[in-house]
Amino acid sequence: MDISDILDNYIKILEGARPPRFKNIDLTERVNKALEILKSCTLCERACEIDRTAGEKGECRVGMDLRVASAFDHMGEEFFFIPSYTIFFASCTFHCLFCQNSDLSQVSDVDIFPAMTPLDLARLIDQHGYCKNMNFVGGEPTPYLPFILETLTHVKSSLPVVWNSNFYMSRQSMALLKGLVDVYLSDFKYGNDACAKRLSGIDNYFEIVGCNHLLACDDTELVIRHLVLPNHFECCTKPVFDFIAEHMKDRAVVNVMDQYRPCYRADKCEDINRRLKPEEFREAVDYAEKLGLVYIT
């Protein structure tokens, strides 16, 4: 399939060809369901099952407040998203040794960032209604899902919703997002569980993230980012691309990314303690081409 064919629908959605889907959802019901989950939190597949409403904090260290590290008109996203009003939430459900946003995702105390109410965030979003979308990212937005849903109850502007995530959401969270997100923007890192465990501290990665990609693709438009890691073509890039080719070849755009640099604690891992070589990136792009993926670089 020609990339212009699949991108045409994305561009139309992001330029207002249809009303944002959240405008047609009973958000109050979803907010209540999401808040109920916090009493034994399973918003992500870490399934900490702690009572966040009682002040307990799980692996993500997020409590009962919106903690926004930064929010701005982002001009560095994929071309069809920009300008994107991008909201970076503090903390993450992953602990990636090569995290490029570790100053906001891997902090031990999320409360160092100012608390914000859903109404506060909605007003900020409305002030940036000239952007093409509101882009919920991090860190990771999943721990904040109940408060993001509540934010949308206050949003007056008609910006589409971009859910920019590591895709380790639980089935409950995916159900809360269904029919609400306009474009999913995923980060499909690993092609196996061993690399995910060693580099991000995550269990059962491929099954969970793979399943969520299928659910997202069946729901609406999907853009999949794959950051090519040095020395990880056979174990990660090939299996990820094979999965996409088998299940969503003509239904998702793949961004093959060469921006890897050894950040945070990557120097402790021999396989990823250097930048990506041009020939490694070329190998990844050639494989995407061979499989017939709809891809950009």
For 130-148, write each residue's pLDDT tens digit. 999 999 999 999 999 999 9
Residue with tokens 């900490």: 48
Using left for φ > 0, alpha for ψ between -120 and 50, and beta otherwise, residue 16 falls in: left
Q: What is the pLDDT of residue 7?
A: 74
Which H or E run contains 67?
A: strand 66-74
pLDDT in tens, 244-294: 999 999 899 999 999 999 999 999 999 999 999 999 999 999 999 999 999
Beta bridge partners of 67: 115
Of the chain, the end-to-end C-alpha distance in Å amounts to 17
Segment 188-205 mean pLDDT: 98
Name the 3-class secondary structure at 250: coil
CA 1 to chain centre: 25
- C-alpha to C-alpha distances, 79 to 9, 11, 86, 118, 228, nearest whole angstrom: 14, 10, 14, 28, 20
pTM attached to this predicted model = 0.96
Neighbour count for residue 152 (Cβ, 10 Å): 23
Residue located via tokens 């081409």: 289
Rounded distance, CA 217 to CA 211, Å? 10
Q: Sorting pLDDT into bands at 50, 70 and 90, what band is 1?
A: low
Q: Tally the residues of the chain.
A: 297
The Cα–Cα gap between 262 and 98 comes to 6
The Cα 231–Cα 130 span in angstroms is 42
Give 74-119 pLDDT, tens digit per residue: 999 999 999 999 999 999 999 999 999 999 999 989 999 999 999 9
Dist. CA 54–CA 139, nearest whole Å: 23
Which of the following CATH numbers is that of domain 3-296: 3.20.20.70, 2.40.50.140, 3.40.50.10190, 3.40.50.1370?
A: 3.20.20.70
Residue 105 backbone phi and psi in degrees, to 5: -95, -25
| Nearest CA-CA partner of 50 in 36, 61, 40 | 40
In this prediction, residue 9 carries a pLDDT of 75
Residue 165 amino acid letter:
S
Question: Cβ distance 203 to 47 under 8 Å?
Answer: no
Residues 184, 222 contacting (CB under 8 angstroms):
yes
Q: What does the pLDDT average to over 200-214?
A: 98
Q: Give the 3-state secondary structure of residue 217.
A: helix
Helix (H) or strand (E) holding 202: none
